Structure 1
Amino acid sequence: MTRQTKSDSDKPLVLVVDDEINTTVMLQYIFEREGFRVERVTDGVLAIEAAEALHPDLVLLDILLPRMNGFEVLARLKASPITEHIPTILITANLREPSDVAQGLDLGADDYLQKPFAPQELLARVQSKLRARQLEEKLRRRSRELEFLLAASERLGRHLQREEVLNAAIELARELVTGDFFLVQLVDDNGNMLGSVSWASTDENSIPEYVVDIQQWLKCEQQSSVWMADPQYPPRSVRYYNGMCGVIQSNNQIIGVLAVASRRSEYTKDQSRLLVGLGRHVAMALRNAEYYQLQKLYTQELESTVLARTTELVEAQRLLTRNEKLAAIGHLAASIAHEINNPLMPIGLLLEQFEEGLRSTEHPIDLDDLQVVRENVLRIQRIVRSLLDFARQDIELRILDVGQLLESVQKLNQHSFEMERKKLSSSVEKNLQVYGSKDQLEAVFMNLALNAQAALGLGGRLNIQARAQGDKIVILFEDNGHGIPQENIDRIFDPFFSTKQNGSGLGLFVCYGVIEGHHGTIGVESEVGKGTRFTICLPRPGASG
């Protein structure tokens, strides 16, 4: 194997593989005269070793070789990732079979020449293959760069914190090139360094301000630069001989700098260009992180605003409910006084009679009169209990499922209906929601179910229905009981009006107040002997009004 001086290392290297010494000497002379370097080997085994060690720019390969023929050598070269992209030209004799040429091309040979050949043709073919190889190498390098930048963009995009993006940029720079010091520094509009910085070094004594003068370099107004052992060239390097810088730029505004420095490795303009490409993706990731933080802050402010407004609305609803209750109490005051006064009058008269009876033995106490007193006292207790139950209802408001409320009421009453041989059925659409108080609405539905049960005869039926109708939820309680006389229809929602013997007269009044408090309506239709239908309309969540 011949030796080349280091000063020739920039010339293209051709590996000549031929066992004919005269041929190899002639080829060496032709190539060196045209500015090539040449390595000569005389058998197939040495050819493989030389190709793997020297990485020639082109292999000129004879077919007939000692120890391993040219076809085997070609197959080995194309099978190795180290040598698979080296252009190979086969040298064949005129008298060999044409199938040899086809076999060589099938194995991956780039071209072939027949002996004897003209030097001009040889050089033209070699130059053509070298140019093709340079283009292929350039495409492969660009492809690797694009793959790297694509992967870098994906990795950077995973981070939503500025510090995480900067640390990821350092990791990617270390994967991109070898070096002893890596730095990413953010700057403001005037080029002043900000507090956001990330760096890594193989030298524990290295600190960013002694490695690269960022502000001096930015004054040069360059996208990137490479320096080698020149302390006068900005940015100067105190500890490192070689280095490169690239801007981090977003919307034509420089927001930071990427820098790499080394004591041994020399950097190229292509590497500097790739560093700038990495900087662009770092800039996008930083902007995304900034937008994310702004969106997060906006979301938090929006949530705080919504919470404050919701709190205000809840408080307003509580005040409204309280005012409505106070108004209801005011309206009830006169009725309460009247209704309680009614049973008190017979109680007072009977007590006067008892007093006179105790004073005179001529008028003994009548037990029937005591029973009347007891019944009136119990009536007063029922009135007071109903008022207390109404006052103690919770006013916790939330989104409720109407179907679940009605299902609960139906389950609670199903057994008692069956015991009295009455029927209770329902037909409720799914996903019907209202905003309100669970306890209050359940109490309304329970009251209507119990009233219907009391009105039904043997074999009677109550059917509960619920459906969506525009921006409202319509709920029907329809029975085929004895019905309500027309003269009572307009009074059934009045306080203390009842057709039941032991009724307090507050049930439907409370129902009316609850539904009205939920911004809904409740109405009744009835015909004596045919039945009664109560219709409740409640607004759906979000409906206006």
Structure 2
Amino acid sequence: MSEPPPDQPLVWIVDDSPTERAITVHALGAGYTFEEFGDGADAVERLNTRTARPDVILLDWVMPGMTGDEVCRYVRAHEEFSDLAIIMFTASRVETDDVVRGLAVGANDYVAKPFVPEELRARVHAVLRSKELRDAANRERTRLAALNRLGRALFAAGADVPRILHELVSSLQGLVADGCAIIVLPGDLEPIAVAVHRADPSAAMLSSIATLADPMIHAFTGSDDALAKLPPLYHPYIQQYGLRGLAILPFPVRNPVQGVVTLTRDGASEPFEVDDVAAIETCIEYASLAVQYALRFEAERTARARLTAVLEHAPVGIIVAGANGAIDLANPVAVQLVTGIETAGTLDRAFGLGTWSTPDGAPIARELWPFGRGADGKAHREQLVFTPPGGESRVLSLTTVTRREVDELAGTVTAIEDVTVQHAFAVEREQVAAFQEQMLGIVGHDLRNPLNAIVTGTELIGEHARELPRIQAVVTRIQSSSRRMTSIVDQLLDVTRARLGDGIPLSIASVTLGPLVQSLVDELAPTYHDAKFVVLADQVRGVWDPERLEQVISNLISNAAQYGDRTKPIQIRVTAEAGTAVVEVSNSIKDAPIPAERLATLFEPYRRGATSMSAHRKGLGLGLYIAHEIVRAHQGKLTATSTAEGTVFRVELPIRGSHY
């Protein structure tokens, strides 16, 4: 007999009377597929051929040969047939005991002959509805059991991605398919292909059709239909196993991994139904989540391993604490620097590991202890001295920052560095620098009086030795040397005032810059007789210290004459710009411009250019530093630029002096 059309229930009519069978077919009408048997033994034999099973059996109770009672007992005795729906036909005068016995041996319902067609149809419909509900419940129970097994298997697989995929295809093949294969594309994972088939342990032929394709669900009426609709790639598989259903679905349903799942239902099976596809998608979703968990687990494991390696080999100590102060981690350097931190347990207990003080020796109270600070979200940096019991003191530099998770305080991270040596060097440098500055002040102050006496004495001698040329020459040299020494002493005193005191003192008076500059040029011209000076001065008046300004401008003009190209004029320009007096001294360069790195330190003390080092070794390299400090004392600015066009020193002074 041909296969029943889809969606039409298959009804077996088992009755020894052809007339009764015809009446039954007519009573049920269209919408059913019928198969008729004249004897119970024929029906039993047909069941055992494993062909299409009936949805309901209409069984005459009294038949020659194998009776309806015996057929019913046989069906219920075999598990594979035990769920078949059976309605028995009885005679109109059948005893109640016979009906009870028929229901007891497995009949689902009965209809008395002669029957009313509407009653027969109603009872058949009721039995079919019951069967549909029972089948749906069985499918759901099977699906849930399979999902439960898959869930346990995926949990056991952990982060083993190949095992996860194998559990997926095995579960799908056992639940809804004859064959299942998966291909994972290369990306976050290495390419993986897994396939299982009910009839072929190697699944070689299934693997040959498990390729990348657009997602779709196919249903075929038979192998010929599949051959006609699918490309040649699938034909060997169809010819070998037949094909009723083909499902191609993406794996997973979200990034980062991409792959394809291929499922088949072969010739002896039915096409995939909606419930089947739902079960497949649920299994794929489970496996997808398991794969993504495995990827995250592996990424986190790798990140943890890297972080552990970094912390163990970090050159600084790291202490990680929770919001409650519990110490979660202390790396080896931290354990070395803060003796006992690994067993303290909390930051509060760590305070008792030794004595804590500031670098200047002041004890630190527990409530001011800096460990664990940072709840305000800012980085806190400070130094303190830690002295373990019976151990040497260490100067530790601490940097504490906050750890936050989802905008909530999760704890702190403290970086610790041993700066004992650096601190000792810094203290020593400060002491040496202070001593040097004090010595400069002392030397400058103590030398000034003897030098003044020498200058005064030579002046007196000079007045009486004009008629003695040889003595006059000696006196002149002594006076020149004394003035130069006095200048050096004055510079040393200015440096000392600038660096140790309140800055260079000023004697403020009203000054007109133009005449002051011209007077300086007139004084310096005889010294640099081969240089040409050009003064371009506006009438700019302000309140400044005239002697100090003369010192600044004289130094700039002298430098321009000494280091510049004397074949070209040295220009001194005086202007006023937006309430600021500007004096610019510019000269053409003799060789190359001043390098940028030298310009950056030009106004630091004891700095001299390369030219001055070879040609003017008598200076201390303090002139520009003192000039800069004098301008700064006026709340002004001194800058320098040097290009191939020339070198320019620019002095900017506020004109109004009320702020002094």
User: Rg larger in 1 or in 2?
Assistant: 2
- TM-score, normalised to structure 2, is 0.41
Higher relative contact order at CA 8 Å, sep ≥6: structure 1 or structure 2?
1
- TM-score, normalised to structure 1, is 0.49
